[in-house]
Amino acid sequence: MTLSRNAAALAIMHGTGALQPLLLIPYGARVLGPTAYGQYVYIIAMAYLANTLVDYGFSWTAQRSAAAARHDPAALARLLAEITAAKGLLCVAVAAIGLITYGVLSIPLPLLLYALTVPLGGTLFAGWLFIAIERPWRAAVPLLIARGLALVLFILLVKSPADIELAVATQALIPMIAAFASLPFVVGLAAKGFASLTCRGVVSQLRNGWPSFVSTLSGNAVLMLPVPLVGHFAGFAAAGQYSVAEKLVNATRIVFRAIGETLMPRVAYLAQHDPARGIALIRRSYWTLVIGVSLSLGIYVVGPYAIELLLGPNYAGAVPLLNILCLIPIIVNIRFCASHLYMFNYGYDYAWVSLSLLGALTFLGAAYLLSYWIEGAKAVAAGVLIGECVVAAVSTGFFIVSGAARRQVRRTADV
């Protein structure tokens, strides 16, 4: 499949992932109200944080391995079985921890059970495999079906703050629905893989995925912890305000995720077989900065009017937060090119992990310190921005310096 077709499939897959929550904001925020809506987004954020723990970074390491072995069905079958088994073990552990600590997390037990269907569905859904072998439509179509169904059910069933359980349930079931819809594409391959599954293989995947897990957890902390942090600093109502601004900004992350996942399999392959061409492709990817600048300007100019028009004066508190976060698209654009495409694929795994961890710690530290001087929601927004800036700046410097060193080595070898 060509890069343009891959890009189209990934754009649809990630575009619907951004569009569906955005479509829910005007209806859900008005029907649930700021406080119940804040509780709803808090629980969904915790559910997807649990999913990140179960995913364990396999979307990076397994995708890279599958991309390199795309022409070896036996290797793909073994990899699918090992990753699914490893995720299953992690899912059981996460569910046990959730059931023990749900009181501390301020999540009622019924809502916790709905939330746990997110990591369970993530265990069964092999979207990483379809992207790696450049068949992203097999992931895009099931997710499109699941998100469309969840949107319809939310609008039909959620009518007041008392329906918060239904609100959580409709959205938490998306990964599970997608997993069942994609079964025809993987059931044969999975059966062959599980027939030869070994404990050593599962342990090996867990060991190999550890660096990517730390990096993914660090990166996703910037995406998933802000709403719970705002809830901790300023309550559920402030979390609802922050969530509105965050969703508008994070919708643009989907654009760069689609670009990154379009290029990632090709860069991973070239890094192993033709490194110079891979680096040239990464350099060309910087032309996408035009997209990042355009999106940031669009959010700054149009975003406040969209909030006022769609949500009314009750959510005016989201506008100052949006003004802080509007620079995120440019920064994330730079990070994808330098950090994810170059550092991850060209043998700098531990530097990549360390940088992601540094970004997460910078975000948490900045948010905590700023909370003493400014409003909690603004402190968290500023912390997110500072953390992303650190990662983008360091990874770009790394790409420039390391790339220059590689060129010098090649010149010396040619001489």
Report d(CA 200, CA 289) in Å as an integer.
Answer: 43
Q: pTM value?
A: 0.69
Could you identify the residue written with the tokens 């501390």?
104
State residue 412's pLDDT score.
45
pLDDT at 406: 55
Cβ atoms of 334 and 392 closer than 8 Å? yes
In the three-class reduction of DSSP (H, G, I as helix; E, B as strand; rest coil), residue 105 is classed as coil
Using alpha carbons, select from 79, 171, 175, 83 the residue that is nearest to residue 122. 175
Q: How many whole angstroms separate alpha carbon 266 and alpha carbon 250? A: 25
> Alpha carbon 332 to chain centroid distance?
12
Cβ neighbours of 181 (radius 10 Å): 18
Lookup: tokens for 399: 């790409």
Q: How far, rounded to the nearest angstrom, does the alpha carbon of residue 100 sit from its chain's CA centroid?
A: 26
* Locus of tokens 């997460």: 360
Within 10 A of 390 (CB to CB), how many other CB atoms are there? 19
- How would DSSP label each residue in 119-182? HHHHHH--HHHHHHTT-THHHHHHHHHHHHHHHHHHHHH--SGGGHHHHHHHHHTHHHHHHHHT
Low-confidence ranges of the chain (pLDDT < 50): 405, 408-409, 411-415
In order, the DSSP letters of 315-351 are GTTHHHHHHHHTTHHHHHHHHIIIIIIIITTTT-HHH
pLDDT for 408 equals: 45
CA distance 357 to 147: 31
Q: Which residues contact 235 (CB under 8 A, 6 or more apart)?
A: 35, 38
Q: How far is residue 343's CA from residue 349's CA, in Å, rounded to a whole number?
A: 7
